[in-house]
Structure 1
Amino acid sequence: MRRTAGSASADALHLEADVLVLGGGPAAAWAALAAAEGGARVVLADKGYLGTSGATAPSNTGTWCVPPGDNRAEVVEKRWQRTGGLADRRWMLRTVDQAYENLLQLAEWGYPFPSEDDGRLYIANLRGPDYMRFMRRRVLTAGVTVLDHHPALELLSDGEAVTGATGLDRQRHRDWRVDARAVVLATGGCAFGERILGATGLTGDGALMAAEAGASLSGMEFTGKYTMAPHGTSLNKGLPFRWASFFRENGEPLLGVDGEPLRNGIGSAERDVAAALIEGPVYARLDQAEPALADWLRRGQPNCFVPYDKAGIDPFRELFRVTLKAEGTVRGTGGIRVATETCGTDVPALFVAGDAASREHLAGSSSGGGAINSSWALASGWWAGHGAASHAKRTGRASPFRSRSRPLGRAGLRPAGPSAAGLEPAEIVAAVRAEVTPLERNYFREGVRLAASRERVEAVWREVRDHLAASGTDRLRAREAASIVANARWSLASALERRESRGMHRREDFPGQGPGFARSILVSGLDAVRLSGDEPAARELAS
C-alpha cells in the first residue's frame, strides 16, 4: 500500500489500492474479504467503525438459510409468490446458494454458532455484535487496510470509469483520497433520518455518489416499509407484536376491518393500526403470548425488551404506546441498480452490495426484512468483491492516472451558486422527512399528495444544489442532507410513475395491480430525474 502526500492539504492521507470498499456493515466486510481472496490490495473506508456501524451490528438477525436439496427450488418459488412478480428466481437461487456457502465458511473460520439439541450447528441466525466483531477480525487478518471514521464524500472518475474516492478523516480532521482500480459501494440504505437501530449513518450516500457517476437506481418506489415499535424508542423489531392486542387512547379495543378486536399487529392488520395511528395514539399489550412463549421471546430477542425494562413496563401485562417506524430503503427494496452477475453497476469499475443495492431481484415489491437482506449482504458482498478484484486485475496494477481523475461530487460540496449561510442540514432533513415518512403520505399514497410532496422536495433540492456548502468536517452533514434529499426525489418520482398498488407501494387512487407495471422502474439523474422501464425511451421530469 503506497502512501503519498494528499492534494487537499499537506497532511492529507493518500492511498492507492486495487479495490476500495466503502461501508462498514456485513456486505462491506464480505466484499473486502472476497477482493483480498482474489489477490487484490484492498482498502475499506467506513463512516463509522467497522464492526459496530450499520443496521446489523446492534441486532440479532436471522438469514434466509436454505440448505441444498430438492426443496430449495420449492422454497424459492414459495417466496417468489410474495414478491409481486418482480423478483428473479435465478437471482433468488443464486443468493440462497452463495449465502449458505458463506455461512458454512463462517463455521469453518470458527464463528461461534449455537448448537441444536442434536449437536449440529444452528447457522441460520447471526448475533449482530458477535458477527460483526468476528468479521472485523477476519478482514484485518486478510490484510485489508481499514480506515475507521473515514466517511467518503464523493467518487473520482477519469471520464470513463470510477477511479477511487475522497473523504474525511473525522478523528484527525484531514482529508483522504484513495485511487483504486475498482470501487465497491456497500454504504447501506437510506433511512431518511428516522431513528431506528443502527441507522444514524444510513443517509443514502452511496446512491448519490453512484448517480453522480452515471448509475441508475431501481425499486425506489418501494419505500413504504414500516415496523411497529414502542413509542419514543429507536427499536424497529416487530416480531413480538404478532402476539399483541391493540387499544385506542380511551382504552377501547382497536377493531379491524372485520369488526373484531385486533390480536396481531403484523401482516394485514398492520394497515388497520396505521389508519388508527393517523387518527390518534394507539396502545398495545403482548397479552396473546403464553408464559412459555413470552420467555422464548425474551431469550430469543433480548434487545426487543430493553426499552420496556428501562421504562419499568411489563409489556405482557401492561399497556404501552406504539408507533410505526419508517424504514426507507433500509428494509425497502430500492437502491443502486445491479447490472451484472458480479453486482456491477451501469458504470465501469463501480460495484454495489448490501442495502445500497436494489434488492428487487430478490424481494420484488415486498420487504426483504432482516433475513432476506442478511443473506443478500453475504452473497452480494462476496460477488461484488470478487468482481471488483477481477476488474482490477484486468486493468493492470499500474497507478491510475491521477491527473485524469476528477471529483464527481456536487450537491452539498460544490453548489451551483453562492452558498447560503442560513441553509442548515438539519432543517433540510426535517423538510424531507415531513414528505416521506408520515403514514398519511407514504404508507397510504395518493397521486395528488405524492405530486405535492414531490414539488416541495424538488424545491428543497434546488436550494441544496444551488446554495448548500460547508467546510471542514461540516461537509459530512451537508453531504448527508443532500443524499437524503436526492433519495427522496427518486422515491417520489418512482412512486408517481407506478400507477398501481403492489407490495409496499400502496396507491389509494390505484388500488389494484396493473399488468403493465409487472416490471422494474429505473430512475437516474440529478438536475433532471429520468424514469424508464421497459419502454425504449426515457421520460424526463425536469426539476
Structure 2
Amino acid sequence: MVLADKGYCGTSGATAAGGTGVWYVPPEPAAREAAMASREGLGGYLADRRWMSRVLDETYHRMNELADEGRYPFPTGPDGRPLRNGLQGPEYMRRMRIRIRRAGVRILDHSPVTELLTDADGAAAGAAGYRRQAGEPYRVRAGAVVLATGGCAFLSGALGTNTNTGDGALFAAEAGAELSGMEFSNAYGIAPEGTSVTKTAFYSFATFYREDGEVLEGAASQGGRSAIARELLTGARVHARLDRADATAQAAMRLAQPNFFLTFDRLGIDPFTERFSVTLLAEGTVRGTGGIRITGADCATSVPGLYAAGDAATREEICGGFTGGGSHNAAWAMSSGSWAGSGAARYARSLGSGRAAFRPVTGAGGAGLRPAGDAGSAAGPGEARELVRLVQEEVLPYDKNYLRRGSVLTGALGALDDLWAQLRSLRGEGAGLVKVRQAAAMTAHARWMYASALARTESRGMARRLDHPEQDPAQHHRIVTGGLDRVWTRPAELVA
C-alpha cells in the first residue's frame, strides 16, 4: 500500500494545523436522536439518517479504539471520565503517521498526484505525480485508489488549507465520476485581520463593532457573517471582542483550542477585553459540504476501483446543505476513511494480483497536462500563479461567492469558462506541472460550484441566493454536477 501526500503526511491539511471537535455521541437513543435532529433543519433536510446512524456508530467505535489502544491521550473531565469529543490535530496526525508506518504503508511525502491512471475498462488503476524533493515524476500502479485530498479553499490563506486546492475532485471527474452538493461551498471563516486562524465557533462569544465603535447589528446572530461581509465591502473595518465569555468559558476556550490564542498572545492582545479587527477568509468545500459523489456504503464512486473519503467526498449524507469546521466533518473523515479503505482493499483483491499489477494503464489527466487539439503551449514560469489569481478574483470576493446573486454568478462562471479554455491549451512540465494542475483543479471546482448554485434557485442550507431568499419545497433534492469542457447539472431525488 502506498500513501502519496501533497505535503508531509501528518502535518498537511486542515486537521493537522489545529484542534478539531468530533461528532462523538454515546449510543443512547435520546442522545443520538438529538444529535441527528440538530443539523437537519440547518442542512435543508437533505441529509440521510441511515448514513448519520452509520457515522455515529463508526465514529464512536473509532474514537474508543484510539483511547483503548493507547493511541491518543484523551484528557479527562472534572468527574474523571475521559473526554472523547475532540482531538488536538498535530498530536492526532503525528500518531496516525506512526500507525500507518507500522502497518507497512509506504509514504511518499511531498509527492503531489497530478492524475489518475485508468485501465482499458475505465477503472482506477493507480496514480502519477511528481516528487518535489527528488525532482522527478513517479507512477504507482494499484488495484484501487482512495481519494482523500480534502476540499478546496482556493489558497485563501485559511490555516491548514494550502494543500486543499480541489485536486481530488478534478482527478475523479477526469476519470468519469460525478460531484454533488457543490452549491454548498460558500463558507467563510472569521479570522483576525492579517492572520489565518479561522476558529469561528469562539466568535459566538463576541460582540462586533464598526470602526466608529458602534455595535454592528446582526453580526453576532445566526448568519451574522453576512453583516460582516457587507460592512467589509464598504472598505471599512470590523472589530470584535470576545466580551460575552465569562471566566469559566475563557479557561475552557484556551484549553480546547490553544492555537486560536497564539496570534493574540504574540500581538499582545487580550481578545476578551480588547477590540481587534477581523476579516472573512474563504474556506469553500473544506468547511462546506460538496464533493465527489459516492454511490455505495463503502464510499465507492461511479468509477470502478475509485473511492472517496473525508472532505474530498460530499458530506450531504450526514449534513445535507450545512456543515462547518470539525465535528461532523471530522466524524465523516474518520468513518468514510475506514469504509473507503476497506472497500478499496476488497476491490483490489477481487482483481487478483496478476491483473492489478500488469494491466495496461493510461493517464486520465487533461487540462494543464495534455492540451486539447493541437500540441498546446508550455506554461511559463509565472503563468500558473497568474491563473490562480484569476480564479481567486471570481471566488474570494464576498459579493460574488458569499452574497450570491444569479446575475453575478453567471458573469463569474463565464469568466471561469474562459479561464478553463485557456488551461486546456497549456502544458506544465516538471515542478511547474503541479502548479498548473492545481490551477486547473481550482478552476474546475469553481465552475462546478457556480453551475450548481445557479441551478438551485432558492436558499437552502448554506447555499443562499439574495435573489431567491426563500426555501422552495419543489427543490427538496440534491444537485449533481460534473463535466470538464462542458459543465452540467441535474437534480437527484432523495432516496427514502
TM category, shorter: over 0.9
- 3-state DSSP class of the match of 2:20? strand
Shift of 1:175: 1.4
Q: Which of residues 165, 174, 187 is equivalent to 1:225?
A: 187
Q: Among residues 316, 327, 331, which one is paired with 1:360 in the alignment?
A: 316
Q: Do the aligned residues in 1 keep the contact of 2:348 with 2:356 (CA within 8 Å)? A: no
CA distance in 2, matches of 1:194, 1:185: 22
TM-score (structure 2 length as normaliser): 0.95
1:61 maps to amino acid: T
| Equivalent position of 1:470 in the other structure | 428
- Aligned partner of 2:224 in structure 1 is 269
Out of 1, 4, 9, which is 1:50 matched to? 9
Q: Which residue of 1 aligns with 2:486?
A: 528
The AA in structure 1 aligned to 2:81 is R
1:376-428 deviations in Å (ceiling 9; x for gaps):
01100000000001111111111436562100111111222421655711111
Q: Separation in 2 of the partners of 1:134 and 1:102?
A: 14
CA contact (8 A) 1:213 1:408 kept: yes
Cα distance in 2, alignment partners of residues 401 and 394 from structure 1: 13
Shift of the 371–421 alpha-carbon distance from structure 1 to 2, 3 Å rule, reads: closer
- The range that moved more, 159-168 or 213-222, is 159-168
After the TM superposition, which residues 471-486 of structure 1 pair with which residues of structure 2 at under 5 Å, given as runs?
471-486=429-444
For 2:61 and 2:247, the matched residues in 1 are separated by 37
Aligned pairs for 1:251-330 (under 5 A) are 251-256=213-218, 264=220, 267-279=222-234, 280-330=236-286
Q: Alpha-carbon deviation of 1:117?
A: 2.6
Structure 2 CA distance, aligned partners of 1:523 and 1:226? 22
Q: Which runs of 5+ in 1 are unaligned?
A: 1-41, 257-261, 536-543
Corresponding position of 1:140:
101
Task: Work out whether 1:97 is the aligned partner of 2:89.
Answer: no
Query: Could you tell me how far apart the structure 2 residues matched to 1:175 and 1:420 are?
Result: 17
Establish whether residue 493 from structure 1 lines up as the match of residue 451 from structure 2.
yes
Q: Contact conserved, 1:219 with 1:333, CA < 8 A, in 2?
A: yes
CA contact (8 A) 2:177 2:292 kept: yes
Which segment drifts farther, 143-152 or 354-363? Answer: 143-152
Q: Which residue of 2 aligns with 1:22?
A: none
Q: Distance in 1 between matches of 2:342 and 2:369?
A: 32
For 2:69 and 2:238, the matched residues in 1 are separated by 47
Q: Which residue of 1 aligns with 2:288?
A: 332
Matched residues in 1 for 2:289 and 2:91: separation? 26
- Alpha-carbon separation, structure 2, partners of 1:117 and 1:296: 12
TM alignment of 1:373-412, pairs within 5 A = 373-400=329-356, 402=358, 404-412=360-368
Give deviations 1:243-281, integer Å, cap 9, x for gaps.
22222122222223xxxxx5x3x6233322222222221
d(CA) in 1 for partners of 2:4 and 2:254?
A: 36
SS, match of residue 90 in structure 1: helix
Query: What one-letter code is carried by the residue in structure 1 that aligns with 2:46?
Result: L
Q: Note closer, same or farther for the CA distance 1:499–1:273 as it changes in structure 2 (3 Å cut).
A: same
Alignment match, 2:37? 77
In structure 2, stretches of 5+ residues that fail to align are none
Name the CA distance, whole Å, in 1 between partners of 2:290 and 2:225: 21
Q: Secondary structure at the match of 1:329?
A: helix
- Indicate if the aligned counterparts of 2:145 and 2:306 stay in contact, CA closer than 8 A: yes
**2:191/2:281 contact within 8 Å kept:** yes
Whole-angstrom distance in 1 between the partners of 2:488 and 2:133: 39
2:420–2:485 contact (8 Å) kept in structure 1: no
Other-structure match for 2:48? 88
Give the partner amino acid of 2:480: L
In structure 2, what is the Cα distance between the partners aligned to 1:427 and 1:277?
A: 25
Please give the alpha-carbon distance, in whole angstroms, between the structure 2 residues aligned to 1:230 and 1:339.
40
The 8 Å contact of residues 379 and 428 in structure 2, kept in 1 or not, is answered as: no
CA distance in 2 between counterparts of 1:511 and 1:80 reads 19
- Cα distance in 2 between the residues matched to 1:351 and 1:403: 19
Q: Distance in 2 between matches of 1:115 and 1:326?
A: 35
SS in 1 for 2:143: strand
User: Which SS does the other structure have where 2:60 is aligned?
Assistant: helix
Query: In the alignment, what sits opposite 1:444?
Result: 403
Supply the AA of the counterpart residue of 2:463. H
Q: How much is the aligned-residue C-alpha RMSD, in angstroms?
A: 1.5
Counterpart of 1:459? 418
Aligned residue identity for 1:503: G
> CA contact under 8 A between 1:334 and 1:360: conserved in structure 2?
yes
- Answering whether residue 204 of structure 2 is matched by residue 246 of structure 1, we say no
Q: Distance in 2 between matches of 1:242 and 1:84?
A: 22
* 2:166 aligned to which of 204, 211, 216: 204
Matched, 1:108 2:64: no
User: Aligned partners of 2:78 and 2:215: how far apart in 1?
Assistant: 41
8 Å contact kept, 1:365–1:505: yes
Cα distance in 2 between the residues matched to 1:81 and 1:513: 11
Q: Structure 2 CA distance, aligned partners of 1:283 and 1:505?
A: 26
Shift of 1:179: 0.6
CA shift in 2, pair 1:509/1:300, >3 Å: same
Distance in 2 (alpha carbons) for counterparts of 1:333 and 1:94? 18
Mapped to 2, the partners of 1:199 and 1:534 lie a distance apart of: 30
Alignment equivalent of 1:510, drawn from 456, 463, 468: 468
In 2: Cα distance, 1:424 partner to 1:51 partner: 31
Q: Deviations over 1:51-99 (max 9, x none)?
A: 1110000111110011112222342133323320111111011111101
Question: 1: CA distance between counterparts of 2:143 and 2:33?
Answer: 37
CA distance in 1, matches of 2:8, 2:69: 22
Q: Tell me the SS of whatever aligns to 1:140.
A: helix
Which residue does the alignment assign to 2:147? Answer: 185
CA contact (8 A) 2:378 2:429 kept: no
What is the Cα deviation at residue 369 of structure 1?
2.6
Distance in 2 of aligned mates of 1:401 and 1:309: 54
Q: Give the secondary-structure state (helix, strand or coil) at the position aligned to 2:440.
A: helix
> In the alignment, residue 218 of structure 1 is paired with which amino acid?
S
**1:398/1:101 Cα in 2 relative to 1: closer, same or farther (>3 Å)?**
same
**Rounded Cα–Cα distance in structure 1 between residues aligned with 2:205 and 2:489:** 42
Corresponding residue for residue 171 of structure 1: 133
Residues 105 and 403 of structure 1: CA distance in aligned 2, closer, same or farther (over 3 Å): closer
SS in 1 for 2:343: helix
In structure 1, what is the Cα distance between the partners aligned to 2:379 and 2:66? Answer: 50
Give the equivalent residue in structure 1 for 2:369: 413
